[in-house]
Amino acid sequence: MISAFFIFNQKGEVLISRLFRQDLKRSISDVFRIQVISNPDVRSPIITLGSTSFFHVRINNVYVVGVTKCNASAALVFEFLYRFITISRSYFSKLDEESVKNNFVLIYELLDEIIDFGFPQNSEIDTLKMYITTESIKSEMAVREDSSKITIQATGATSWRRSDVKYRKNEAFVDVIETVNLLMSKEGAVLRADVDGQILMRAYLSGTPECKFGLNDKLVLQKRGDQVAKSDGAVELDDCQFHQCVRLGKFDSDRSISFIPPDGEFELMRYRSTSNINLPFRLQTHVTEPSKSKVEYTIHLKASFDPKLNANNVVLRIPTPLNTTGVQAKVGVGKAKYVPGDNVIVWKIPRLQGAQECTLTAEADLAATTHRQAWSRPPIQVDFSVVMFTASGLLVRFLKVFEKSGYNSVKWVRYLSKANGSYQIRF
């Protein structure tokens, strides 16, 4: 149970404070300010002082803090804080000091609804938007009078969906987004390669549709004795997690994914796969330190996916020693620039075709330093997004929609593989 909720700015000023239980005083916020915000060396997201525990998440320039005095579920508190962040984002796009100040009334209203006496309640954004409204959302759905309907939905077995949804055109969009995690050693051995996948769905379907979703999941295909399973067409999912609308019991018994989707956008499932990962980029590095004042780089990048596909926004961050004074870089494709603040050479390639190769050669000049400490060589980071490519090889096989009225629906599927700081190569 959460006893209090605060939002602080970076100076430690309280932007939002809400006490749910009487075991705390408002002045507890000072303790957090002193112990966490003005403490330069905080090494844990949970601080316990006496019997009071502070859970904090730092986001943009604010601290979102939950306080409890009991042996609360730590996972629950953090999940709640993150949920709050998600909800705030969906209401006012970005959670930072300014937006908190501008929307404090709304935040209090939201808090009142999503947490009661320290127990998180309904946190479904879609449902919340039905009765907690801002100017912009109000016009969108002016349904305030049928609040009994709202409340039924907010507590019902399908709290995520209104029953009276109507669309002229029934459509469903499925986005498969994979984040590729790679850790490659100096020697080019793959230490870790796996994929965190996310299947986002935007459902614009009328009525209460029953959906069935099929992937090229190896286990499912094998069970059906499909030939495909033996060839390379199937992917092995290490683990899946589903939106609460998915019937978990059914997945547990026969691995079928069936659900009644919320209206609009939601994350249907998350999965993880570690076997047979197709790495979209290969990197060959040759970095030498010919003298004490110089480092030479030759970085060879190869896109190893299908030539018909394109990678967008490929960004390589190549670390340089801390005492670098200047860098001369030459690239065949894209632009390379030394960013002194981060001690990296940033090589940006807006668009790269599959099977294409390119090279960066650079020379970093180092300032002479008195004490010589070996340069720790942080890994090179590659960020990218490749459309219509899944590193795990996952494919959506079908999405079936059943509804009483028996309408036809149109489904769209998109694939995207990306990396955002998670694709690291040591050199």
Partner 1 sequence: MAMAPPRKGENWELRQQLNSEYRDKRADAIKRVIANHTIGKDCSGLFPDVVKNMQTDDLEQKKLVYLYLMNYAKTQPELVILAVNTFVKDTADPNPLVRALAIRTMSVLRAEKILDYLASPLSRCLKDENPYVRKTAALCVAKVFDLKPELCVEYGFIETLRDLIGDGNPMVVANAVAALADIQEAAQALPPSPPPSPGRSSPPPSARPNSHLFAIDPPTLTKLLVALNECSEWGRIAILNTLARYKAQDQQESEHICERVMPQFQHVNAAVVLGAVKVIMIHMKNVTRDDLLKSLTRKMAPPLVTLISSPPEVQWVALRNINLLLQKRPEILANEMRVFFCKYNDPPYVKVEKLDIMVRLASEKNVDTLLGELKEYASEVDVDFVRKAVRAVGQVAIKIDEAAERCVSVLMDLIETRVSYVVQEAVIVIKDIFRKYPHSYEGIIPTLCANLDELDEPEAKASLIWIIGEYAEKIENADELLGTFLETFKEESYPVQLQTLTAIVKLFLKKPDESQAIVQRVLQAATKDCDSADVRDRAYIYWRLLSSDPAAAKSVVLSVRPPISLPQITVAPAILEELLGEISSLASVYHKPAATFIGKGRLGAEEMQRRVLEPEEEVSREKALQTVVAGNQAENLLDFDADDEPTSASISGIGADGNSLSDGRISSAAISNAAKSTNPLDELMDLFSTASMSATTAQPVAPASTVAGVPGLQPNNDPFASLSGLSSPPSAMGSGGVSPTPPQQQHQQQKQAVGGAQDDLLGLF
Binding to partner 1, residues 210-269 (CB under 8 A): 238-244, 246-249, 251-252, 267, 269
Query: Minimum Å distance from CB 29 to partner 1?
Result: 9
Nearer to partner 1, 164 or 342 (CB): 342
Which of 38, 48, 276, 288 forms a contact with partner 1 (CB under 8 A)? 48
Per the listing, tokens 């300014």 go with 98
Place of tokens 């957090």: 32
Choice from 16, 199, 201, 336 touching partner 1 (CB under 8 A):
16
Cβ-Cβ contacts under 8 Å for 337 (sequence gap 6 or more) = 329, 345, 346, 348
Please report how close the Cβ of residue 112 comes to partner 1 at its closest, in angstroms: 6
Nearer to partner 1, 120 or 354 (CB): 120
In angstroms, what is the minimal distance from the CB of 7 to partner 1?
A: 9
3-state DSSP call for residue 31? helix
**Residues with Cβ < 8 Å from 285, sequence gap 6 or more?**
297, 298, 299, 300, 380, 425, 427
The nearer residue to partner 1, 191 or 367, going by C-beta atoms, is 191
Q: Report the C-alpha gap between 108 and 149 in whole angstroms.
A: 23
Question: What are the strands, taking DSSP E only, across 165-263?
Answer: 171-184, 190-204, 210-215, 239-242, 257-259
Rank residues 34 and 49 by Cβ distance to partner 1 and give the closer one.
49
- Of 78, 167, 173, 407, the residue at the interface with partner 1 (CB under 8 A) is 78
Closest contact distance (angstroms) between CB of 406 and partner 1 is 27
Q: What is the CA radius of gyration of the chain?
A: 26
The Cα 267–Cα 262 span in angstroms is 10
202 binds partner 1 (CB under 8 A): no
Which of residues 206 and 273 has its CB atom nearest to partner 1 in the complex?
273
3-state secondary structure of 47: strand
Does the protein bind partner 1 through residue 135 (CB under 8 A)?
no
Sole window of 144-152, 220-228, 277-285, 402-410 interacting with partner 1 (rule: CB under 8 A): 144-152
Query: Cα(149)–Cα(353) distance, rounded to whole angstroms?
Result: 52
CB nearer partner 1, residue 44 or residue 291: 44
Q: Does 425 bind partner 1 (CB under 8 A)?
A: no
72 is a site residue for partner 1 (CB under 8 A): yes
Among residues 34, 38, 141, 156, the one that binds partner 1 under rule CB under 8 A: 156
The dihedral built from the CA positions of residue 367, 370, 372 and 378, taken in this order, carries a sign that is: negative
User: Which residue from 12, 31, 61, 74 is in contact with partner 1, where contact means CB under 8 A?
Assistant: 74
CA distance 133 to 201: 24
Q: Which single residue is written with the structure tokens 């979703």?
A: 213
Parallel, antiparallel or unpaired: strands 190-204 and 239-242 = unpaired
Interacting positions 283-342 with partner 1 (CB under 8 A): none
* DSSP annotation string for 101-143: HHTHHHHHHHHHHHEETTEE----HHHHHHHS--HHHHHH---
> Using CB under 8 A, which of 10, 39, 147, 288 touches partner 1?
147
Residue ranges in 361-420 that form contacts with partner 1 under rule CB under 8 A: 373-374, 376-379, 381
- Kindly tell me which of 380 and 401 has the beta carbon lying closer to partner 1: 380
Rounded to a whole number of angstroms, the minimum distance from the CB of residue 213 to partner 1 is: 14
Find the shortest distance in angstroms from Cβ 348 to partner 1.
Answer: 19
Q: Are strands 171-184 and 410-419 parallel, antiparallel or unpaired?
A: parallel
**Residue 46 is a binding residue for partner 1 (CB under 8 A):** yes
Tokens 């076997």 found at: 275
Contacts to partner 1 from residues 102-131, by CB under 8 A: 104-105, 108-109, 112, 116-117, 119-124, 131
Of positions 93, 136, 139, 148, contacts partner 1 by CB under 8 A: 148
In degrees and rounded to multiples of 5, residue 402 shows phi and psi of -115, 130
Count of residues interacting with partner 1 (CB under 8 A): 98
* 89, 212, 270, 348: which one binds partner 1 (CB under 8 A): 270
Query: For residue 74, what are the CA distances in angstroms to 29, 68, 226?
Result: 19, 10, 44
In whole angstroms, how close is the CB of 404 to partner 1 at the nearest point? Answer: 21
